[in-house]
């Protein structure tokens, strides 16, 4: 009897590790049953795109479920041929030697020598090669678990049950149009989870936003009920280091609830929500204002006062835009502010704004930065400005008879557009926008949004089902 009690206690001890492994296998079995998988047919999960978040997401799945090899196969696709520069190779070597578990892992796999050679300049490393060893090019300070990496897109996705898109929004349409060619003979419809934060603006037949999930739907014909968006207030490297994080998976109830349960881990809590497109758009919107936040921080030597003034104005613009896009914008306040806060604290878009203001980067270098990946906020600035400046969306401002464009309510967005897209102004002008004596109190902008019937469902465009 004592032995049985000890065995029972052990199953719940060791920091819950044994019990947690059982729970993971149960969750995997449950999802397999929902997908109709037979005993000898593994669940196939394919990650498409291996930037920081895409790599971490795949690594989380590998950590949680990869040990059940007869039940699940996890693989990641990334383009081949991306060379690792000399400085990054040297830094990789330093990271390897500073972390004993990583060093031992590479020695066991006979992979250590190639990093020595790369540091000495005798060998060129490639992004897909180091990803197999557990290093993401955009996040080399955080070694991941080794992943199965393929560079042939057809091999990665043709029989996948679940596809996780970690692509930038600017590449989503092109890649999924290619993927659709490999799915023409499929008998079953895959599930697609998009991690992308970015949008495009379309002006015809009416001005509207196109999101990555809509791009995927139009490129592949996969029904929207099988396409979901996952986002939240989190930083990829911190999540992989098991710092506590939250996320939301948004989409049709058929899959969002089972997937939320499947993805949930003790340090990574996944909630679910039905409002897919609005959450997706908000994920892109916060990147816009994160760039400006980085500029303000750099230009004012991290002045708490200046950063708080910026935060007040930028959040009021974001709240204004949510009133245009959502019938019940209050429901978005928590997730939007949380995601904005973490992006301003430690996101790549805020870093990009800082580097522009300090002169460490120039706009001419483009929005794909070595060691950071795609800066999604740049294209989002152009998309939101283009959309909100359309005369067909003009509205009357309180106390004025002449209608104005919606972008006139968003002076920070206007300034970022002139800095990043038109290149008519410099980063310093973001401070002038804040100090403009004609700028309204942020409260006024929120009151305007709340008191006017500004909700414009046409901005999100027709959502095909």
Q: How many angstroms separate the Cα of 403 from the Cα of each of 71, 138, 305, 388, 454?
A: 61, 45, 34, 13, 13
d(CA 335, CA 230): 12
pLDDT tens per residue, range 175-208: 999 999 999 989 999 999 999 988 999 998 899 9
Specify whether 286 is catalytic: yes
Instruction: Retrieve residue 108's tokens.
Output: 């066991």
Instruction: Retrieve residue 23's tokens.
Output: 């729970």
Is the pLDDT assigned to residue 13 strictly greater than 50?
Answer: no
Instruction: Retrieve residue 223's tokens.
Output: 């029904």
CB 166 within 8 A of CB 51: yes
- pTM, two decimal places: 0.91
Where in the chain is CATH 3.40.50.720?
A: 2-81+148-276
Is the pLDDT assigned to residue 441 strictly greater than 90?
Answer: no
DSSP string, 305-327: HHHHHHHHHHHHHHHHHHHHH-S
CB 352 within 8 A of CB 377: yes
210 DSSP β-pair partners: 200
Q: What is the pLDDT of residue 337?
A: 84
Query: What average pLDDT is seen over the chain?
Result: 90
| 176 three-state secondary structure | helix
Q: What is the pLDDT of residue 462?
A: 64
d(CA 212, CA 219): 10
Is the pLDDT assigned to residue 16 strictly greater than 70?
Answer: no
Instruction: Retrieve residue 25's tokens.
Output: 């296998």
The H-or-E segment that residue 85 falls in is none
Where in the chain is CATH 1.10.1040.10?
A: 285-460
Catalytic option among 286, 372, 414, 418: 286
Instruction: Retrieve residue 414's tokens.
Output: 């206007």
Average pLDDT over residues 251-269: 96
Task: Tell me which fold the domain 2-81+148-276 belongs to.
Answer: Rossmann fold (3.40.50)
Q: Which CATH architecture has domain 285-460?
A: Orthogonal Bundle (1.10)
Average pLDDT over residues 411-421: 96
260-272 as b/e: b if 16+ CB within 10 A: bebbbbeebebeb
pLDDT tens per residue, range 370-407: 878 889 999 999 999 999 999 998 887 766 778 889 99
- The share of the chain scoring above pLDDT 90, in percent, equals 72
């Amino acid at each position: 009897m004592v032995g049985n009690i000890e065995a029972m206690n052990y199953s719940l001890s060791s920091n819950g590790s044994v019990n947690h492994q059982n729970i993971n296998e149960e969750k995997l079995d449950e999802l397999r049953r929902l997908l109709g998988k037979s005993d000898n047919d593994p669940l196939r999960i394919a990650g498409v795109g291996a930037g920081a978040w895409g790599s971490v997401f795949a690594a989380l799945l590998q950590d949680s479920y990869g040990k059940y090899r007869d039940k699940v196969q996890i693989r990641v696709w990334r383009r081949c041929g991306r060379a690792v520069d000399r400085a990054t190779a040297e830094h990789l070597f330093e990271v390897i030697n500073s972390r004993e578990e990583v060093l031992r892992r590479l020695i066991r796999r006979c992979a250590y020598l190639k990093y020595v050679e790369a540091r000495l300049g005798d060998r060129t490393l490639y992004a897909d090669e180091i990803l197999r060893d557990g290093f993401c090019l955009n996040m080399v300070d955080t070694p991941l678990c080794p992943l199965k990496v393929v560079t042939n897109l057809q091999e990665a996705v043709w029989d996948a049950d679940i596809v996780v898109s970690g692509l930038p929004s600017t590449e989503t349409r092109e890649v999924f149009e290619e993927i659709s060619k490999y799915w023409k003979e499929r008998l079953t419809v895959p599930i697609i989870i998009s991690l992308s934060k970015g949008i495009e603006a379309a002006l015809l037949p009416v001005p509207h936003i196109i999101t990555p999930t809509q791009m995927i739907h139009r490129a592949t014909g996969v029904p929207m009920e099988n396409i979901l968006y996952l986002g939240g207030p989190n930083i990829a490297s911190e999540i992989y280091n098991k710092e506590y994080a939250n996320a939301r998976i948004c989409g049709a109830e058929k899959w969002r609830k089972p997937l939320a349960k499947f993805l949930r881990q003790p340090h990574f809590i996944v909630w679910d929500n039905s409002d897919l497109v609005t959450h997706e758009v908000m994920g892109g919107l916060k990147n816009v204002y994160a760039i400006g936040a980085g500029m303000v921080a750099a230009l004012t030597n991290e002045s708490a006062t200046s950063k708080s003034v910026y935060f007040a104005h930028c959040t009021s613009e974001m709240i204004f835009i949510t009133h245009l896009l959502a019938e019940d914008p209050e429901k978005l306040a928590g997730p939007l502010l949380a995601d904005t806060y973490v992006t301003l604290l430690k996101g790549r878009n805020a870093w990009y704004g800082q580097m522009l203001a300090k002169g460490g980067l120039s706009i001419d270098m483009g929005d794909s930065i070595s060691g950071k990946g795609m800066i999604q906020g740049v294209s989002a600035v152009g998309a939101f400005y283009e959309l909100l400046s359309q005369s067909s969306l003009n509205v009357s401002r309180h106390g004025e008879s002449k209608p104005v464009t919606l972008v006139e309510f968003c002076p920070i967005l206007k300034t970022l557009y002139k800095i990043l897209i038109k290149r008519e102004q410099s980063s310093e002008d973001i401070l002038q926008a804040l100090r403009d004596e004609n700028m309204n109190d942020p409260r006024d902008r929120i009151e305007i949004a709340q008191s006017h019937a500004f909700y414009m469902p046409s901005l999100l465009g027709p959502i095909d089902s």
